Structure 1
């Protein structure tokens, strides 16, 4: 099979199974098998695939045809300009979450201009692949960063990513804020499970390949925020701040939860203009 024939065959298989962006996915899967950039596929379209390459490509296409996420097949996902290893043990980082890192960096730089020191202490709850914690440590190396997760499997992936990207993060296993007790933090950040049960059941098939515990936030999706509002206060220092990702329609409800506990809140949109991050202090 020639490379160009493989791309056409792969696209046809994925279209038949109702996969969106079938051509794009087929191209990336072949590029992954051949370990080349996507544009090389078209420059070398007459290249004959070896027997092993063809076998691997067909296997990858069949996996994608069953709605397995492309990122799990390729074992990588881009986030904040960095390449992260991902597999079935962790949630796939989304571009929407980059605003959380960008807003944090903006707040840190603002603190520097106001005379606060460069060494700050930050905890990332529900770290998963470590995308948030690692990105923050990568772009602001002075930070003392801790990433926590209930899942030991997720922390193994996070450690692997930190090692690959050459950043220093301390990883702690435990439920909710338990790994943070007894310390005071400048920032606590989190992309928590915030999908309601009803919304989850209506998700695209690919979602069900990812860890359900990383999505489900209770009947209405707000359970994690209620726990945070009730328990996180004693963990923040006098100037401490909490930065949280939210669902696009949750800003009013989440702000209300925190305001009832005496917090001031501020909402920030993502690049599409949808409410995405809440700052509470």
Structure 2
């Protein structure tokens, strides 16, 4: 049997990343990473060493750590993720912040394409007074989102269907979405972690904006007067996203930048005449 210090050193070299090695070993042993500091000299049982080696081999082949461990933290929430869901990214927390800043007391919010439920659940955690609805076209993703809601004890109503179809007749103070926005032919879809994530949650047409256009077109029928539509997009799509709001009934359009100073979220206020 090999001690944990040696095993971590070897895995870190293979992966080129100490953090990923620790995350995979913590998952193997069912402990947190802090446990390693007190147990670095402990020997790892042969069965656990084999299981860990399998996880490392999967990561070396490119499979995301989140899919191997089945977990990704978002907004301090531990979320289950599977290959049926997009892996939540830290930059999407900007969308949560912008929505929270505009959500009135007792307000209603809709999360389009909820995936793992990350955005809807983060908002429900911060604003238990709000009514939060979330929908997705993927039944498999909704199963994951519902499990996350139950595990966290958060109140979100989930709907199955394509964009606004499941909530016909409903109106909201805020509509948010992290929709597919990558160009169909983008070579990055065949590289890195993106190879393993659901294509339907990543790409949308030749310019990546097909689903964003559907959302902007459909949102007025589902927003209250002075309600907000906010959506995430690619770093080079801020200007073209704002241009979609250069017509009535929209006003106050803006694009917010993420921590890397890249265009990340665009929004506008619905102002019917």
Question: TM-score per shorter chain, which class?
Answer: over 0.9
Q: Any idea what the Cα deviations from partners look like across 1:88-138, whole Å, max 9, x if unmatched?
A: 110000000001111111123xx4xxxxxx211111000000000000001
Return the offset for 1:250.
0.4
Return the offset for 1:203.
5.6
Return the offset for 1:181.
1.0
2:2 is the counterpart of 1:7: no
Q: 1:202 to 1:228 in 2, by over 3 A?
A: closer
Return the offset for 1:183.
1.4
Gapped regions of structure 1 (runs ≥ 5): 16-20, 112-117
Q: Any idea what the Cα deviations from partners look like across 1:154-188, whole Å, max 9, x if unmatched?
A: 00000011011110101000011101211111111
Q: Any idea what the Cα deviations from partners look like across 1:45-102, whole Å, max 9, x if unmatched?
A: 1111112211211111111111100111111111111111111110000000001111
Q: Could you state the TM-score of these two structures normalised by the residue count of structure 1?
A: 0.90
Alignment match, 2:264: 276
2:123 to 136, 140, 151: 136
Write the distance in 2 (CA, Å) between the matches of 1:45 and 1:188. Answer: 48
Q: Which structure shows the bigger proportion of residues in strand conformation?
A: 2
Q: Could you state the TM-score of these two structures normalised by the residue count of structure 2?
A: 0.93
Gapped regions of structure 2 (runs ≥ 5): none
Q: Which runs of 4+ in 1 moved over 6 A?
A: none
Structure 2 residue matching 1:197: 3-state secondary structure: coil
In the TM superposition, what are the counterparts of 1:75-94 in structure 2 within 5 Å? 75-94=70-89
Aligned residues: 267
Alignment match, 1:115: none
Structure 2 residue matching 1:280: 3-state secondary structure: strand
- Checking the alignment, whether the CA contact within 8 Å between 1:229 and 1:261 is kept in structure 2 is no
Alignment match, 2:170: 183
